[in-house]
Amino acid sequence: MLVLLRFPFAFLNESISFGHFNCYIQKRWKKPVNSAQTRLENRARDLQFDKLVRQIKKLKLILRLHELMSQRRASHTSVQLVSRWSNVVGLNVGVGSFIQKHPRIFEVYTHPVKRNLCCRYSQEMLGLIAEEAMVIRESEMAAVQRLKKLLMMSRTGRLNAHALWLVRTEFGLPDDFRASIINKYPETFRLVLPDSVELVDQDDSLPAAEVEKWRESEYKEKWLSEYETRYAFPIQIPTGFKIEKGYREKLKTWQRLPYLKPYNPSEANCIRTSGGIERFEKRAVGILHEFLSLTVDNMVDIERLSHFRRDFNMTANLRELLLKHPGIFYISTKGNSLTVFLREKYAKGCLLEPNPVYLVRRKMLDLVLLQCRFTNKEQPLEELNL
Residues 149 and 110 in one domain: no
**230 and 316 co-located in one domain:** yes
Are 194 and 174 contained in the same domain? yes
Contacts of 94 (CB under 8 A, 6+ apart): 83, 385, 386
User: Which structural domain, as residue segments, surrounds residue 144?
Assistant: 139-199
Structurally, the chain folds into a number of domains equal to 3
The pLDDT assigned to 186 comes to 92
Percent of the chain scored above 90 by pLDDT?
Answer: 48
Residue 275 has pLDDT above 60, yes or no: no
Higher local confidence (pLDDT), 382 or 91: 91
pLDDT at position 6: 52
pLDDT tens for residues 57-85?
A: 999 999 999 999 998 888 888 888 888 88
Q: Are 337 and 302 in contact (CB under 8 A)?
A: yes
H or E segment to which residue 118 belongs? strand 117-121
Whether residue 80 sits in one domain with residue 146: no
At residue 12 the predicted structure's pLDDT band, cuts being 50, 70 and 90, is very low
**Please, which residues have CB within 8 angstroms of residue 200's CB and are 6 or more apart in sequence?**
186, 187, 188, 189, 190
pLDDT at 64: 93
Give dist(CA 4, CA 269) in Å, integer: 71
Q: Around Cβ 358, how many Cβ atoms within 10 Å? A: 18
Q: Average pLDDT, stretch 243-254? A: 90
Q: Is the bond preceding 262 in cis, omega lying within 30 degrees of 0?
A: no
How would residue 219 be classed by pLDDT, with cut points 50, 70 and 90? confident
Q: Would you say residue 88 lies in a domain?
A: yes
Check whether residue 344 and residue 232 sit in a common domain. yes
